[in-house]
Structures are given as C-alpha cells and as structure tokens.
Amino acid sequence: MRYLVLTLAITAALRATAGCENSTMEVHTALRRPIKVYVDGRTGSNPPTVGVVVNNIPPGMHKIQVVEVRTNRYGEETHTTVYNGNIDVRPSVYMDARVDEYRGISIHDTHVPCDQTGNTPPPAGGSGYSTTPSDAFVQAPPPAPAVPEHMSDADFKKLVNTITASKYETKKLDTLNASITGAAFATDQVRQVMNLFSFESNKLAVAKLLYDHTVDQQNYSKLASGFNFQANKDAFEKFLSGK
C-alpha cells in the first residue's frame, strides 16, 4: 500500500495592523508531485506545481482540498484528491500539518507575534517565538461514530495489498470484484479503495460496485467529494438517487 504524505505549512504574516492575524499556507507533497490546492472551494489560476502558496487566510475553520495532478503514459491528465477536510486556522500561527491519505492528519502549529515581519516561517526549534501547549503534534478531531460491524482493519489491509499487487487498473477491478463476496465495508473503507485507482471512471465503478456491500449507506453521499470532474460526480449522485 502506498501512503502518500503531504506537508502543509501555514505561516502567519503578523503585524499590528488590520489583517495581522491572517495566515499563509504553503503546501507540497513528500513525493514532490504537482498539486492544486483549494481553500473553501477556491484555487488560484496558476498551473499545478510541486509547491503551492495561498496567502491571507483569515482565522477560523476552512475547507482544504489538495488535488494531485499526474500525466499518464498516454498523455492524459488525471486528478486525485489526496486530502479533503477542514482545518481550524488559529490567528497568528505557523501551522505544519502532515497528511496521510489513509491515516488522517496530524497538526503542529506555532504562534508568531504580530511584530514579526514578513511571511517567513519561524526558524527550527521555534527560537524567538512564544508557544502554547497546543504546539505539540495532535491528531485531527476524532473519527465519526462507530458504524455497524464491517471488515476488520487486518482483513481490509490484506484486501488493499491484494488489489495494489496488480499493476493495471482493469486487473485491480477484477481482483476487487472477486474478493467482495460476503464482505461488509464501511463508507470510509470504500473511499480508501476508490483512492487506489487513478482514473475517475474506475473510482466511480468501485463506488457503484461496493454500495450493496456497505453497512452505513447513509454516509455514502460523502464519497461525492472524491470526484474532481463534475460529470463523474453527477453520475455518482444519479446512481445514489436510484437506490
């Protein structure tokens, strides 16, 4: 299983004037792949790059989506959402968030005083900056309430390993189809299986295939966020409306 780790850095441009508490977000992936970053559904006009900077983010809760952009051997561009969630941006902070596509997000933030000029992150060790107990690495908010009994973590890991052992996506789909007899999935597990595929048409096929094997179908609509192309999102929502 490939774990993709992202590093997000949010730097505060702190001054004693209006906007002093606004933050700057710098995002890149550990594998240095081109990405697009969406904040509250908006993104810049710049092309995908290995590092993206978003300036002047006000404090508060913001939706952050990180989309990895690749070009396959046929020259086709594929978009894969590697993180999609909410981040609570405190005023006047440098926030370092590490995102694991399958394990969630851990966040480290450091307060930067308003007399600190520029949008540069604090030096290693936080020298010269006041800190608070929340500066320690913490886990994101606890997961959603437990869902009915479904595939165990150990069995799910075996399934993921079996799927990823196949090189071609058509073979991965065949492997998945042959492995789901009698299986019960949680919606979050379906999302993880979808993320094993690069082509959105195959993500859609997975979502349709596993619906009847999912124990918390009331949460299934959340999978719509995994589609970057509106046509695929519409097809998924049309599929759900027919259930």
Q: Residue 102: what pLDDT?
A: 54
**Which two three-digit tokens encode residue 22?**
């606004």
**Which two three-digit tokens encode residue 106?**
């851990």
Q: Tell me: the pLDDT tens digits for 30-45? A: 666 787 888 888 887 7
Q: Tell me: the pLDDT tens digits for 229-243? A: 899 999 999 999 998
If you average pLDDT over residues 166-186, what whole number do you get? 91
If you average pLDDT over residues 58-76, what whole number do you get? 81
Q: Residue 135: what pLDDT?
A: 30
If you average pLDDT over residues 187-201, what whole number do you get? 93
> Does pLDDT of 6 surpass 80?
no
Which residues are CB-neighbours of 129 under 8 A, at least 6 positions away? 110, 111, 112, 113, 116, 122
The CA R_g of the chain, rounded to the nearest whole Å, is: 20
> Does pLDDT of 47 surpass 50?
yes
225-230 long-range Cβ contacts below 8 angstroms, 24+ apart: 225/65, 225/81, 225/84, 226/81, 226/84, 226/191, 226/194, 226/195, 227/200, 227/203, 228/67, 228/79, 228/80, 228/81, 228/200, 229/79, 229/200
**Which two three-digit tokens encode residue 234?**
């519409």
Q: Residue 132: what pLDDT?
A: 29
Q: Of 49-58, 59-68, 190-199, 223-232, where does mean pLDDT reach its minimum?
A: 49-58
Instruction: Judge whether 100 and 120 are in contact, CB under 8 Å.
Output: no
Cα–Cα distances (Å) from 165 to 175, 179, 217, in that order, read 10, 14, 28
If you average pLDDT over residues 91-99, what whole number do you get? 68
State how far the Cα of 193 lies from the Cα of 107, in Å rounded to an integer: 25
Q: Residue 238: what pLDDT?
A: 94
Q: Tell me: the pLDDT tens digits for 108-159? A: 667 666 655 444 444 433 322 222 222 322 333 444 556 678 889 899 999 9
> Does pLDDT of 222 surpass 80?
yes
pLDDT > 90: what percent of the chain? 30
16-22 long-range Cβ contacts below 8 angstroms, 24+ apart: 16/114, 16/115, 19/56, 20/92, 20/114, 21/58, 21/59, 21/91, 21/92, 21/114, 22/55, 22/56, 22/57, 22/58, 22/59
Phi, psi of 29 (to 5 degrees): -100, 155
Q: What is the mean pLDDT of the chain?
A: 74
How distant is the alpha carbon of residue 181 from its chain centre? 29
Q: Residue 236: what pLDDT?
A: 94
Q: Residue 24: what pLDDT?
A: 72
State how far the Cα of 232 lies from the Cα of 237, in Å rounded to an integer: 9
DSSP string, 151-190: --HHHHHHHHHHHHT-SSHHHHHHHHHHH-TT--B-HHHH
- With cut-offs at 50, 70 and 90, classify the pLDDT of residue 105: low
Instruction: Judge whether 124 and 135 are in contact, CB under 8 Å.
Output: no
Annotated domain spans of the chain: 5-139, 153-241
Q: Residue 43: what pLDDT?
A: 81
pTM: 0.42
SS3 content of the chain, % helix, strand, coil (to 5): 30, 30, 40
